[in-house]
Structure formats: structure tokens, C-alpha cells
Homo-oligomer: A and B are copies of this chain.
Amino acid sequence: MPDILSPDSVGLVTPQTHQFTNPLSLECGRTLPSYELVYETYGSLNERRTNAILICHALSGDHHAAGYYTMHDKKPGWWETCIGPGKPIDTNRFFVVSLNNLGGCKGSTGPNSINPETGNPFGPDFPIVTVKDWVKSQARLGDVLGITQWAAVIGGSLGGMQALQWTIDYPKHLRHCIAIAAAPKLSAQNIAFNEVARQAILNDPEFHDGHYYQHKVVPRQGLMLARMLGHITYLSEDSMRKKFGRELQEGKINFGFDVEFQVESYLRYQGRSFVNRFDANTYLLMTKALDYFDPASQHGDDLTAALANVQAQFLVLSFTSDWRFPPSRSREIVKALLNNRKRVAYAQIKAQDGHDAFLMPIPHYLQIFQAYMQQIEIPGEKS
């Protein structure tokens, strides 16, 4: 039986698109006169519209979080592990909404969309969007769907940052915030890695100042390097050792610059395949949104002050081997919430998989996640 027919998968899904015609003013000072957001939904919205969950995606994610598009798809959505009937985000109980963020490259308006003012792709003229901008656009999507309060907003990594921003900007519009493998802001080292990735793209001769679409090329090498580098930071030293060790691809040293160690082969493969499915301008935007995220900066660098008015209950999860956003970064969020006497559950999950652990079927992780989700009350739900 293919996975697609598995009883714990949402099965076949179809993305939908909504055209927003009310202008969206952005943090950078510019305004998008109109835009589209593409999204998927899983499960059914209940009558009182109290069971909706918003999924926020990470750097290279998109709206396809669960299920399959066709019977022949080899891979399901990126969070199939956690979304589906009987899974932590249980589609038997919840109505799940997952969108592609503004600036993305999978259907929502972004750099590779046509700029109606010019008739050409936006390219580098697409405005720089922030986590705050995304949350605003997500709130509008909620309005369209008739959802005035989310049962929960959930995300991992950059997605967790969006969930956190939701609690600050729309405190009454969500009951639960689940921030997984996130941080209240990037460290200098995080920014440094992003900067190397950006320089790789910006300096690729095929980048053409971001107008590569018109040249019918893509900055392959730059985007590939960015992704290879990203992958190093997503995996832990331990998981890399377990996966590849120092194993040689052909069993012996070749004294050349072709692939020799298996880890090299893995990285090159990851880099190459990413180029075929992601847009370089979007990658640039996403890294900037990460760099800029710093809600405490509006409150004298005081995260406790930034979170003073949140009303949601929190689940914060971190993973021991995550060195991109290690547990200490999650605990900063937890501490600021506790300083405010907010309700927060926190768990540090033992995991070898590094930052990528939030996508993995780690039993302890799924158990805690599920237990938390099960106790979320749904007004109007038959018990």
C-alpha cells in the first residue's frame, strides 16, 4: 500500500490561491498594491471555526506541508511526520492551514512573480519582507477563511519565529503558540552564515543583479553553495558522523577534487537538487527576514517587555544537538515568558539530528507534541 493511502496521511491535497486586492504596507516602507497567497488546508473547519491551526514554514519550506498532489508523488509534504489523522497535528480534530509566505517561490507573490507595473518578474524589485509582514499577511488569510482566532499557530525554526510574532502582534487571535527549534533573534554567527550564503548568490555571474529570469539563467552555483552551507548548519556534528563518518565514496583516496568523501557527495546532491526547486531571490529574502527578526529590539532589547502582552499559551521545544538554534536560545523565550507569568511548557528533546530534528519522527518529540495538542480545547467540540 503506498503511503498516500496510509490512514494517517491526509492523502491527496490541492493547493488553493487567494488574490488579495487590498494593499499591504510593509515594514520596509513600501506597499504591495495586490498579491496572491497560495495555501493548502487539511481536515475540516468546525461550525464555530474554533479548530483552525496555522502552520508557518521555515526558510526553504512552502505551503505543501502534508499529503500528496498525485498518486505518483514520491514524497509527501514537508511535515507529513506531524500532520495527519492521529498525528500530533491531528486532522481528525483540527483544520490545518498551511501557506507559502509572501516573497516565496511556490505560488505566493514573490520575486519570480510578474510585477503588474512592469510586466516582468519582480526580481530584486520585490520588497524585503519581514516576519512581522508575513504575520500580517497570514492574519489577512485568516480573515478570508473566516478564522478570527486560531486554536494554535505552529512553526519550526523561522516558522517558530512567525508563531512568536503572532503572539505579540495579534495576542487575541491565537490560543496557543508552538515554537519549535526557534530563537528570539539570530546570533552574530547565524547572521554570518546567512551572509556567506547571500554573497555566494549575489556574486554569481548568473545572478545579473537579481534579473536572471530575463536572461533565462539561474545563479546555480551561488544557490547551490548557499544550500550546501545551510545543510551543514542543519545537521549536527554527531549526525554527520553517524551518516557519513569519513567514509570514502570509492573506498580509497583519489588525490583529486572530485567527490571523495561521502559527505561531499551528499552536500553536492543537496545543493544541486535545491537549485531545481528554489528561487535565489527568495532565498535572499528569507535570510534577511531571519536576520531582521528581533522583537525585543522594539522594547529596548528586553524580550520580557516584548512578550508582556501575549495571551497565548506556549509550547516551546528544542533539540539537544541543534547548534543553529540551540536549546539555550529556546530557553531565552521560555524565561521571558516566565518573567511575565505566562503559561509555557518547555521540553528539550534529546536528538542527534541537529536543527533538522524538528522534521524527524523522533518518538519523544512526537509524544510531547501530541500530548500538548491533545489538551488544546476546541470550543464546541463534542467530548
Contacts and interface: CB of A to CB of B under 8 A. Distances in A.
A255 B192 contact: no
A225 interface: yes
Nearest to A202: B257
Contact of A241 (B187, B224, B228): B187
A191 interface: yes
A243 to B, nearest CB: 7
Nearest to A261: B191
A33 interface: no
A205 B202 contact: no
Interface string A269-293: 0010000000000001000100110
B225 A225 contact: yes
Contacts of A200: 200, 225
A29 B313 CA distance: 65
Interface residues of A, number: 53
B196 A240 contact: no
Contacts of A128: 255-256
A188 B228 contact: no
Contact of A237 (B187, B253, B256): B187
Nearest to A247: B188
A58 interface: no
Given A186-B246, A240-B187, A267-B192, A291 B261 contact: yes
Contacts of A232: 189, 192-193, 196
A178 to B, nearest CB: 26
A221 interface: yes
Instruction: Among A195, A235, A243, A284, find the residue whose CB has the most chain B CB atoms closer than 10 A.
Output: A195
Interface in A208-263: 221, 224-225, 228-229, 231-232, 235, 237, 240-241, 243-246, 253, 255-257, 260-261, 263
Nearest to A199: B225
A16 interface: no
